[in-house]
Amino acid sequence: MRRMIAGAALILVAARPLIAQCPDGTPPPCAGARGARGAAPAATSVAVLAFDNLSRDTADLYLIDGLAEELTGRLGTVTRLRVTGRSVARRAQQNAAGDLQAAGRTLNVRYLVEGSLRRSGSRVRISARLLRVSDGVLVWSDDYNRTMDDLLALQEDIARQVAASVTGQLLPGERTVLAARPTSNAAAYDHYLRGRYLLIRRTVASITQAAAEFDEAVRLDPGFAAAEARRASALITAFGYGVALAPEDTLAVRARRYAERALRLDSASSDAWSSVGQVHFWFEPYDLDAAVAALERAAVLDPRNAEAHHLLGVVLQCIPNRQEAAAAAFQRALVLEPARAVTVLDLGEVRARQGRYEEARALADSALALDPLQARPHGFRSALRRRAGDIAGAQEDARNALRLSGPARIRLFSLAAMAEFDVLAGDTTTARARLAEIEGEYANWPIVYALALAHLGMPDSALSVVRRGPLIPIDWGILDLPLFDALRRVPGYEGAVAPWRLRLRS
């Protein structure tokens, strides 16, 4: 079966403006990144910056990332606080190059949380500080010297002190939510943090390692709902990216079991509902209505969960006549985290399906500006340039996509695109070599093989591949993109896909 497209990689591209266009089509700064232009920051607005890593071992970076993520999440449970999402804070911190007040002004927040972490064996020393952005005054600070077993308590202490300093005094309900812990097992929590850090990197090795970390977290604490939900997500991600953790039928059974168990452990978990929604979308028997309902539930349970809104958009864009709803879901995700390159790209794909190609191109540029080392936006922009008649630019982007390919599935798209340019240049020998490579991965994504056959002037073979399939829900979002113009132009295409459309709608 086919897989979700994504990639990380090895080359640099020419510098571009940070964001070519905001999700709503306006120039930056984007709503959500800074709030209203010129508006004063909200009195209880706060952002958590990554703590400085004073440890000698770079392997401790997962702790730095985990600390910032957990503090952001805990503070976000206090409804009186306006907490900036991690991806936004991360990018502002990087761009500020050490100027904390500049980062705070960019984020349009009243307060910043920052500090340092040093790990030595089983002990960790953390210095935490709360700064007022307007004048750089240190509002609160404290030093903690604890064992790793005390990490959960330490995070609770810091979050409580920060929240109290910003709000003046915590309410009883706020103390309760800040004291909530996902697990009481310190070792399980450490594996959970490692797994979460690895999973977002989206490489074959990191996805594989992340799945193992979540497995160990659940083994140590079978009641750890958050780890169970992420364990399901790791398997779904592996399936989507084509990482062979297990045979596909085994992977599907395990992912479904983990997602359902996470929901039984914590029916109020946004992550658990997200994993359930993804299972309905990716695995047979496909149920897109159930996927939408589960992801909408995830977004309601945690309105600040940008990933839940994004995943909802991914499902909606594959349903006929739901493109505007998909765009709205992506825009909600981008209000929460304007620097999410993958969401900017997916919004661009929605606009391309709607025939709004100039907007799609601007959003493709934005996605590349945010993350130039991802192959997928290069491939998308290549298709847009090809459609506009910019053959040289399209070929350049296709080459970059091929060079940047990470997990194998994006490579199939890149090979298919390059095969077309080979044909245009009269080099059918190279084009057929690329076709042979795609054919070797036929079972992973038949429609890309069909596309390559169409490029090489073999329409009957292309339609035969489409008829054999199998096609899955994600294909309907992909098949409507400009990349597949050549396949859709083949006479008989609609008849070949009609049975699959009926099956997926039934």
Q: Write the CATH number for 491.
A: 1.25.40.10
Do 146 and 280 lie in a common domain? no
Kindly report the backbone phi and psi dihedral angles of residue 175, in degrees, each rounded to the nearest multiple of 5, phi listed first.
-60, -35
Mean pLDDT for 90-113 is 86
Judge whether residue 105 has pLDDT over 50.
yes
State which of 181, 201, 230 marks the end of a domain. 181
pLDDT score recorded for residue 77: 86
Mean pLDDT for 391-395 is 93
The residue written with tokens 């070949």 in the block is: 496
Confidence of residue 101 (pLDDT cuts 50, 70, 90): confident
Q: Does residue 191 lie within any of the structural domains?
A: no
Do 295 and 159 lie in a common domain? no
Residues 418-431 pLDDT 10s: 888 999 889 999 99
Asked if 236 and 275 touch (Cβ cutoff 8 Å), the reply is yes
Q: Does residue 459 lie within any of the structural domains?
A: yes
CA–CA distances in Å: residue 482 to residues 30, 295, 352, 368, 477: 27, 28, 7, 18, 11
Q: Write the CATH number for 100.
A: 3.40.50.10070
Judge whether residue 471 has pLDDT over 60.
yes
Judge whether residue 3 has pLDDT over 70.
no
pLDDT score recorded for residue 408: 65
Asked if 76 and 85 touch (Cβ cutoff 8 Å), the reply is no
pLDDT score recorded for residue 287: 92
Specify the 3-state DSSP secondary structure of 71. helix
Specify the 3-state DSSP secondary structure of 132. strand
Q: Does residue 466 lie within any of the structural domains?
A: yes
Do 318 and 418 lie in a common domain? yes
Q: Does residue 187 lie within any of the structural domains?
A: no
Do 168 and 291 lie in a common domain? no
Residues 243-257 pLDDT 10s: 777 777 788 899 999
Distance between CA atoms of 415 and 391, rounded to whole angstroms?
A: 16
pLDDT score recorded for residue 443: 67
Q: Does residue 349 lie within any of the structural domains?
A: yes
Residues 323-346 pLDDT 10s: 999 999 999 999 888 878 889 999
Judge whether residue 15 has pLDDT over 80.
no
DSSP states of 253-307? HHHHHHHHHHHHH-TT-HHHHHHHHHHHHHSSSP-HHHHHHHHHHHHHH-TT-HH
Do 160 and 270 lie in a common domain? no
Do 451 and 304 lie in a common domain? yes
pLDDT score recorded for residue 406: 65
Q: Does residue 495 lie within any of the structural domains?
A: yes
Do 174 and 274 lie in a common domain? no
Judge whether residue 284 has pLDDT over 90.
no
Residues 34-74 pLDDT 10s: 444 457 888 999 999 988 888 777 778 888 888 888 899 88
Distance between CA atoms of 291 and 280, rounded to whole angstroms?
A: 5
Do 359 and 476 lie in a common domain? yes
Q: Does residue 5 lie within any of the structural domains?
A: no
Q: Does residue 398 lie within any of the structural domains?
A: yes
Judge whether residue 397 has pLDDT over 70.
yes
Question: In the chain, what percentage of residues exceed pLDDT 70?
Answer: 91
One-letter amino acid at 289 equals: D
Do 53 and 149 lie in a common domain? yes
Q: Which domain holds residue 401?
A: 262-505
- Total tally of structural domains belonging to the chain: 2
Burial letters 328-356, b for 16+ CB under 10 A, else e: bbbbbbbbbbbbbbbbbbbbbbbbbbeeb
Residues 307-318 pLDDT 10s: 999 999 999 999
pLDDT score recorded for residue 405: 73
Give the lowest-confidence range in 21-30, 217-226, 331-340. Answer: 21-30
Residues 126-167 pLDDT 10s: 999 999 999 999 999 999 998 888 888 888 999 999 999 999
Q: What angle do CA 463, 466, 468 make, to 5 degrees?
A: 110
Do 430 and 294 lie in a common domain? yes
Token pair recorded at residue 476: 């309907």
Confidence of residue 5 (pLDDT cuts 50, 70, 90): very low
Do 373 and 469 lie in a common domain? yes
State which of 155, 181, 207 marks the end of a domain. 181
Q: Considering the entire predicted model, what is its pTM?
A: 0.83
* pLDDT greater at residue 17 or residue 20: 20
State which of 148, 181, 214 marks the end of a domain. 181
Do 487 and 350 lie in a common domain? yes
pLDDT score recorded for residue 506: 52
Residues 342-381 pLDDT 10s: 899 999 999 999 999 999 999 999 999 888 888 889 999 9
pLDDT score recorded for residue 413: 82
